[in-house]
Amino acid sequence: MKFFVDTADTNEIRDLAATGLLDGVTTNPSLIHKSGRKFLEVVEEICGIVDGPVSAEVVALDHETMMKEAAVLRKIADNVCIKVPLTIDGLKTCKALTGEGVMVNVTLCFSANQALLAAKAGATFISPFVGRHDDNGFDGMKLIEDIRLIYDNYAFATEILVASVRHPIHVLESAKIGADVMTAPPSVIKALFNHVLTEKGIAGFLADWEKTGQSVL
């Protein structure tokens, strides 16, 4: 499963990229607002840090203006992935852009039927929002299971990008279901490294090593 980080904070992205485990980045208008930076400038900087897909979202609601915004975003770098909302105009834009060989991430997906439409529109990625689904009394991971089943039934190439990930169990369940990608905030990705027994084990080994009076270097 590929790991994308869901942030526009370039310091956090640099930190995670240094682990060698980061496959891409997702941003959205709220994350750009949180960064306090200029949209095009921050996307360009992120594209210079990470080789993989960097999702940058259009904000227009009509197809023509979405295409114009996408034209600006595409010029930033080859690894820009245009993010469009799951609407009729969003999917028209998806179809047009993927036809031109541009990566497209269809966002704000909350049903398996929506995911089916995105795959038929040739989306590179579909982003079902599991956290927001859970928040509203639905089962986010069941949505991922349904999309996996449908995409496998028809051998759709669209990658399932689990979004709105809130905790490590979302990551675990995504991997068990066979999602292609998950995008999570830096804090959730960092939490994946932690286990109390790992920390306890290191402390115990180091305490005993100290008693040997030896050094490796």
Active site residue 83: yes
Do 66 and 90 form a contact (C-beta atoms < 8 A)?
yes
Catalytic residue among 2, 75, 83, 120: 83
Cα 134-135-140 angle, rounded to 5 deg: 15
The count of chain residues that interact with ligand E4P, using the rule CB under 6 A, is 11
Residues 158-177, mask of contacts with ligand E4P (x by CB under 6 A): -----xx-------------
**132, 150, 168, 186: which one binds ligand E4P (CB under 6 A):** 132
Stretch that binds ligand E4P, among 109-117, 129-137, 152-160, 209-217 (CB under 6 A): 129-137
Three-state secondary structure call for residue 154: helix
Stretch that binds ligand E4P, among 35-43, 61-69, 74-82, 125-133 (CB under 6 A): 125-133
How many CA atoms, within 13 angstroms, populate the side-chain half-sphere of residue 209?
Answer: 8
Q: Which is nearer to ligand E4P, 164 or 174 (CB)?
A: 164
- AA identity, residue 195: H
The sign of the CA dihedral 31, 85, 141, 1 is: negative
Regarding 124 and contact with ligand E4P (CB under 6 A), the answer is no
Long-range Cβ contact pairs of 72-76 (< 8 A, separation 24 or more)? 72/40, 73/40, 73/43, 74/102, 76/40, 76/43, 76/44, 76/47
CA distance 51 to 77: 10
Dihedral sign computed on CA atoms, order 57, 62, 63, 69: negative
Binding-residue pattern over the window 52 to 91 for ligand E4P, x denoting contact by CB under 6 A:
----------------------------------------
> 59, 90 in Cβ contact below 8 A?
no
Nearer to ligand E4P, 158 or 183 (CB): 183
CB of 123 to ligand E4P, least distance (A): 13
Kindly tell me which residue out of 107, 114, 124, 158 binds ligand E4P, with binding defined by CB under 6 A. 107
Residues contributing to the site for ligand E4P (CB under 6 A): 6, 26, 28, 107, 127, 129, 131-132, 163-164, 183
